[in-house]
Each structure stands twice: as C-alpha cells, then as structure tokens.
Amino acid sequence: MHRTRVSAHAPIRAAVAAALLAPLAACSSSPSPTPSDAPRTEKSDGRPVTVTVTPEGRRAAPGRPVTVTASHGRLTSVTVTDADGRRLPGKVADDGGKWVSDRKAAPGTAYTVTATTRTEGGTPATTKTSFTTVEADKVNKVDWRPGTGTTVGVAQPISLVFDHPVRNRAEVEKQLEVTTSDGTGGSWGWIRDWSGRDRVDWRPKSYWKPGTKVTLNAELNGTDSGPGGWFVRDYTTTFTVGARQVVEVDLDRHRLTLVRDGRTVRSIPVSGGTPGGDKRSWRGTAVLMAKEGTINMNSETVGLGDAYDKTVDHSMRLTWSGMYAHAAPWNAPHFGNANRSSGCIGMSDADAAWFYRQVRPGDPFEITGKDTKGVVAPGNGFGAWNVSWTAWRQKSALR
C-alpha cells in the first residue's frame, strides 16, 4: 500500500479532501459502527438454550434419576411430574448447567418435564418435554411392622418382609430412612423370615427410650430388587415408644414377673414347655408380637400331631413358631410347680386377664431356663435382640 508522507502542506490537502468526501458521507446508508452497534460475540448472540432430558422416549428404562442439562445458557428451574401431579424432587446445580432428581423414575409412569431457562444474553424461555418408562414385569411388595400411629414396647423393631427375593439389598437399604425424636441410632439387618421370605429389621443398640417418636420413610418406588421385581410405591410408618416394661420369665422357678420402669409390678406363677422333647419352650428374648385374644390353637399347625385342639383366652403371640403366653386353666396344678405345657407360657384365667391388660406389642419377654429348645432366632418373631450388636450391624448390606 502507498502511504502519503505528511508535509507542511498536508493540512491544506486534508481539508480539500474532507470537503470533497463530505457529500458522499452525508448520502451513505451505512454509518460507521459505534460500540453499541458492534457485532455480538458468540456468548451474547441470543442463541436459544438447548435442553437435554434423560431418560427419554416412550419406552424409557426406569430405576435411575432424571437428568436435565442445558447448553448456551442456564437452567433456572425444573419440575418433573407424573400423570397424577406428583413431583420428583431435585435441585439445579449452582452453575445452572444441570438438574438431577433425588428420586428414581418409577416403572410404568409418564413424566412431564418443564424446564425454565435463561440464555447467556438474559432471555428467558420455557421448554416442555415428556417420556414414559416401561411397565414392571414383576412387582415386589412389602409387609411392615409396626403399624402407623401405634404405641409400642421398648423392644419393638422396624420390620419389613418382602413378597419376593431381594438381591439388590444395598440399593434397597439406601432407600430406607429412620428418624427418631431423640437421635437414637440403630442398624438394619437382613435375615430370613420364619416364612422363608427375605426380611430386613432395624433395631437400636439397646432397648428404646420411653417416649421416643420414630418415623420410617421407605422411598422404594422405582427401585429394582433384582429377580424379585420392582417396587412401585413408597412406604411410611410412625410410632411412639411407651413405658419401659420388661417381662422376666424364669422357667426353672416357674414364675413370670412384670417389671415397669425398673420396679416389680407383679409376679405370676406359670407353667412352661414340657422338658425333654419337642414341647419345650424357647429361651432368650422374645418380643410380644400381637395380642390375639381368644383364638383356636391346634397342635397340627406347629408339628405336634393331635396333641391339642383348644379355644384359648388372652392369647399373646411371642413367636411365629407358635409360642404364646395365655390362659391355661387345664394346667392349673402345675402353675408355679412344673413345666407341663406344649411350649407356651400358661397361667390362670385371672392372672392372664390382668397380664393381658398390662402389656403391649413390643414388650420384651426375657426367658431363662435350663431345658429349652434353644434361643429364639431373629426371624422367628422379633428375635434380633438375641444377636450381639456387633454381629447385628454386620447383617447390614451397607457394611
């Protein structure tokens, strides 16, 4: 390029040039750019935000969180709802780039995703999309104890029994949250229920403190249990721990003693299971499972042939295998003297009626005696208290 050197006459030539060019500038339709009219950079060019949702489609896989991501801008809010308006909770990351649900997508569910965004230039927008997860080919259900709103004894565990086997135990256990009013800690333990089904119980290290309020939130919906199938609902229960009552049963002395808050309330003469055979009682800590009142007891249901078929009053179940505390007037000569029952703890009508009114499900029966069948197993009722705390914690799938 040829450059003109500046000389003494340069101002005159510059003025003439300016005068000649002025009409051209006045007629121009493209004025020189100003800073405000300068071309926008890529970061402020107003491109719309691109929103990506996973899973996607009409046959999406369940069992994983919903993820929403944004590019060329940021997410300001995200809602994911099913057809009934229930939301999957979640949180937008601090940089606005991603939202992940706290819960998994459940099987057989249609979800609508609404994402509010803002471009890098500040323009807001809303994007809607949807996806549907495939139906569960098999559903796993739960039977749980104790029931919600109940008041229980100090030995009551939380117990979940599953309809089908649970292979993904750690994944299931992660979804089980126990909260207590006084910060009481505890542990889950996986055991085999007396019925043969998979079961998980939660117990504290030692008996509950009276007055403790307990809540279980089992957020299982959308969790795959393995070959046993999918969970398609959540479960919750709340309960309160009542007075500290311990029932001490000494089979060698043939006495039952109710101790409340460390003080003996009453001692009752009883007769336990007959020594030397299948009619012996269990020992260890059994937990009162239910007060069943007047029931029919048939020996054939517990493998004792035709030994008995009786209507029994004030029946209190202690094990799934059939050990009860109950009224047994036919055994009156043996109360306080000998063990001559078919495995249960029998007492007079009057004593049984009084005792039945005093106790509640969850009260521990601490049973001692030389000639027994053995210790109550964890799955035979609520026998978890017969396992040391160290051994119990090892039964957790998260240890």
pLDDT score of 154: 98
Q: What are the structural domain ranges in the chain?
A: 48-133, 142-242, 245-386
Residue 98 contacts residue 82 (beta carbons within 8 Å): no
> Pick from 365, 398, 362, 377: which is nearest to 191 by CA?
377
| 308/246: higher pLDDT | 246
pLDDT score of 117: 97
Interior angle at CA 228, CA 222 and CA 233, nearest 5: 30
pLDDT score of 135: 97
DSSP 281: P
Q: Give the end-to-end CA distance of the chain in Å, rounded to a whole number.
A: 80
Which CATH number is associated with domain 245-386?
2.40.440.10
pLDDT score of 58: 96
Which CATH number is associated with domain 142-242?
2.60.40.3710
Length of the chain: 399
Burial pattern 126-156, b for ≥16 Cβ within 10 A else e, equals ebeeebbbeebeebbebeebbeeebebbbbb
Q: Within 10 A of 196 (CB to CB), how many other CB atoms are there?
A: 8
How far apart CA 286 and CA 289 sit, in angstroms, is 9
- Give Dmax over CA atoms of the chain in angstroms: 142
What is the percent of the chain with per-residue pLDDT over 70, rounded to a whole number? 88
- In this predicted structure, the answer to whether residue 11 has a pLDDT above a threshold of 70 is no
What is the percent of the chain with per-residue pLDDT over 90, rounded to a whole number? 85
User: pLDDT tens digits, residue range 176-193?
Assistant: 999 999 999 999 999 999
Write out the two tokens for 29.
Answer: 């339709």
pLDDT score of 304: 80
Strands 186-192 and 235-241: unpaired
Please identify which residue in the block is written with the tokens 């040829």.
Answer: 2
Task: Give the HSE-up count for residue 9: Cα atoms under 13 Å, Cβ half-sphere.
Answer: 4
Q: In what order do the strands lie in the sheet with 290-298?
A: 290-298, 309-317, 324-327, 345-347
Decide if 142-242 and 245-386 have a common fold: no
pLDDT score of 307: 77
Mean pLDDT of the chain: 90
Strands 345-347 and 324-327: parallel
pLDDT score of 249: 98
- In this predicted structure, the answer to whether residue 19 has a pLDDT above a threshold of 60 is no
pLDDT score of 18: 39
pLDDT score of 131: 98
Give 222-278 as a DSSP string.
Answer: T-B-STT-B--S-EEEEEEE---EEEEEETTTTEEEEEETTEEEEEEE-B-BPTTST
Query: Average pLDDT in the 388-392 region?
Result: 98
Query: Average pLDDT in the 341-367 region?
Result: 98
Q: How confident is the model at residue 27 (pLDDT cuts 50, 70, 90)?
A: very low
- In this predicted structure, the answer to whether residue 38 has a pLDDT above a threshold of 50 is no
User: pLDDT tens digits, residue range 270-323?
Assistant: 999 999 999 999 999 999 999 999 999 988 888 888 777 899 999 999 999 999
Query: Average pLDDT in the 129-156 region?
Result: 98
Task: Give the HSE-up count for residue 194: Cα atoms under 13 Å, Cβ half-sphere.
Answer: 16
Amino acid at 234: D
Q: How confident is the model at residue 45 (pLDDT cuts 50, 70, 90)?
A: low
User: pLDDT tens digits, residue range 79-134?
Assistant: 999 999 999 999 999 999 999 999 999 999 999 999 999 999 999 999 999 999 99
pLDDT score of 46: 66
pLDDT score of 47: 86
Write out the two tokens for 229.
Answer: 């199938």
pLDDT score of 15: 38
Which CATH number is associated with domain 48-133?
2.60.40.3780
Interior angle at CA 230, CA 229 and CA 231, nearest 5: 130
